[in-house]
Amino acid sequence: MTSHRVMGRLGAATAAVILLLGGAACGAPSNGPGSAKADQTLKWALPAPPNSLDITKAINATSYTVQSAGLETLVHPEAGQIKPWLAKSWTSPDPLTYVFELRDDVTFWNGAPMTADDVAFSIERNISPSSLISYDFTAVSSATATGAHEVTVKLKHPDPLFLQVAIGTDALVVQKSYVQAAGDQIGTPDKLNMGTGPLEFKSFSKTSGVTLDRYDKYWGDKPTFAGVQFTTISDPETMRIALTQGQVDGSFDGTAAHSDQYKSNKTNVSLAPGKGYLYMSMDVRQAPFNDVHVRKAIALALDKQAITKATAGNAAQPADALMTRPQFETMFGQDGVDFTSQVPSTTTNLDAAKAELAQSKTPKGISTSVRFNADGRLAFQVIQQQLAPLGIVLNGQQVDDNQFYSEIGKISDPQGLRIILSGAASTDPWESLRSLLGDADTAGYSSDVTKTNLDILASTADPAQRKSAVVAISKDIADQAPFIPLYTTKQMLVLGKEWAYDNFTPRGSGWILKLHPAS
């Protein structure tokens, strides 16, 4: 499910992973004695150890950060474009067929050449229901080696996100024979994985971390450092101290809401539009949220500016769209006028909220539970206070991540009121909307408008039609309020001043190649 996968990449972060909206290299050049050297090992902090070095078994952010440091994809989504990588070119003779021509100079870390059979296998294994990333491959029918350096992928139906998400983010290429020999142990400390990337997996421990060494026979530009040591620092304050004192060299996973606290004479801090968004979901299948007046009253009473400031500081911005900021700006531009001129913004209006509630079946207010994980805890506290003047009493129930995502994965069950931090890997709003109104529809909401326009988004690449469809869906959701967007996140990078990171964006496939010594 998108919310689970991507929030891991956001971290689930997700990792993850695509559009640069401003920002330059992070890390000022340094020629002093403290500058990084080409034989130095980069020390990178994670908030938790990876669950697995194999993407079919782990899709959270920390896992993807490590996986994508060693494993590669056929293409790279960058700045809204798809660029060749392990595939040097591709064609699409019809909407259901993609033919990839592979590079012929790529080897795995054990010296064996990458073959079309390896690539086809790497794609096919993600289709299996046993793969945790299979939901991004639902459109894929088959992947077949059709030549010595050619792979043909057949789709069941058109998928505008196929290249950007399934192929460019998720289909990490592995060696077929190694994976088959490893069996269920693939991605574990005993059977790491076998890839083609610039860094080779050398060791993996749930306690001491993951070590990767530079692969000197790498087909592309080699990293300008000897390797990477991923280490786990689970306590946020301990991580902040380690970063600001130079005990570790960098991390994506500091507390972005307190970005100023990470600045020191040893660090540079960068913020970029992130891949997450926080929203409220109300299950329209059950009382009292089956009453549109209750839902609208809640929407009108919320002060998104206050929620954003109190919970995320300068690491987020209030939102009226159910998508990430990169998705919004890719389709509607930075000013967003094509969206804001058509989709009404929800402005805080307590009098209007009271008037809406007065029209409901519960005009004197309601008492209801709210479920959230740690990502929604602070937002809940602010929302609880903002709704109290309406006579709406919220009883918070915080649960751990595993339970929370397990619950919202069972959308046929009653979902009540939830605060959810979700996200997306791509820069196309359809990824967010198809999940929100599909496998992550905790509101149980559907309408003729959403059905018709989701079909348009799934079947056409025409920019004007896609923009019109996103606007139509967004207007319908704003009118019926099954979901209330609260804010979009920003991603933070903290990096030692002896290192540089070119054009910082949220992490993605190939992120490790953007790092190099500042000198």
* Domain containing residue 313: CATH number: 3.10.105.10
What does the block give as tokens for 96? 């259901």
> Is 332 contained in some domain?
yes
What amino acid occupies position 351? D
Q: How many domains would you assign to the chain?
A: 2
Give the three-state DSSP class for 490: strand
- Same-domain check for residues 234 and 301: no
B/e letters for 150-185, b = 16+ CB within 10 Å, e = fewer, are bbbbebeeebbbbbbbbbbbbbbbbbbbbbeebeee
Distance, C-alpha 83 to centroid of its chain: 20
Residues 130 and 65 in one domain: yes
Q: Is the Cβ–Cβ distance between 277 and 316 less than 8 Å? A: no
Note whether 145 and 186 are same-domain residues.
yes
Q: Are strands 316-318 and 87-94 parallel, antiparallel or unpaired?
A: unpaired
- Residue 416 is assigned to a structural domain of this protein: yes
pLDDT means over runs of 10, the chain (519 residues): 40 30 34 57 94 92 93 90 96 97 98 98 95 91 98 94 93 98 97 98 94 97 94 95 97 90 95 92 98 98 96 91 93 93 92 98 97 94 98 96 86 96 87 91 97 92 93 97 96 94 81 89
Domain assignment present for residue 496? The answer is no
**Same-domain check for residues 198 and 329:** no
CATH label of the domain that carries residue 155:
3.40.190.10
What contacts 450, CB < 8 A, 6 or more positions away? 437, 473, 476, 477
Looking at residue 390, its pLDDT comes to 97
* pTM for the model: 0.81
Q: Are residues 306 and 348 in the same domain?
A: yes
The pLDDT assigned to 355 comes to 98
Kindly provide the residue ranges of all beta strands, DSSP E only, lying in 124-263, ordered along the sequence: 140-147, 150-155, 199-205, 209-214, 227-232, 250-251
Task: Kindly calculate the radius of gyration of the chain based on its CA atoms and give it in whole angstroms.
Answer: 23
Q: Report the relative pairing of strands 499-501 and 366-372 from DSSP bridges.
A: unpaired
* Residue at 57 is within a domain: yes
Asked if residue 498 is part of any domain, the answer here is no
Domain finish residue from 249, 265, 295: 249
Q: For residue 52, how many other CB atoms are within 10 A of its CB? A: 21
Closest CA to 264 of 288, 285, 246, 281: 246
Residue 153, domain extent: 41-249
Amino acid (1-letter code) at residue 197: G
The helix (H) or strand (E) run that includes residue 280 is strand 267-282
Identify the pLDDT of residue 256.
87
Hey, how many other C-beta atoms are within 10 angstroms of the C-beta on 279?
Answer: 25
- Cα distances (angstroms) measured from residue 402 to each of 26, 362, 407: 34, 34, 9
Tokens of 9: 């990449």
The residues that bridge with 231 in the sheet, in sequence order, are 45
Which tokens belong to 71? 């494993």
Residue 195 in any domain: the answer is yes
Query: Is 517 among the domain residues?
Result: no
Kindly state whether residues 245 and 278 are assigned to the same domain: no
Q: Residues 393, 293: contact at Cβ < 8 Å?
A: no
The residue with tokens 């046929």 is: 412
For residue 366, how far is the Cα from the chain centroid?
35
Say yes or no: 448 and 481 in one domain.
Answer: yes
CA distance 376 to 373: 6
The reply to whether 228 falls in a domain is yes
In whole angstroms, how far apart are CA 330 and each of 81, 334, 376, 450?
11, 8, 27, 21
For β-strands 75-78 and 150-155, DSSP reports them as unpaired
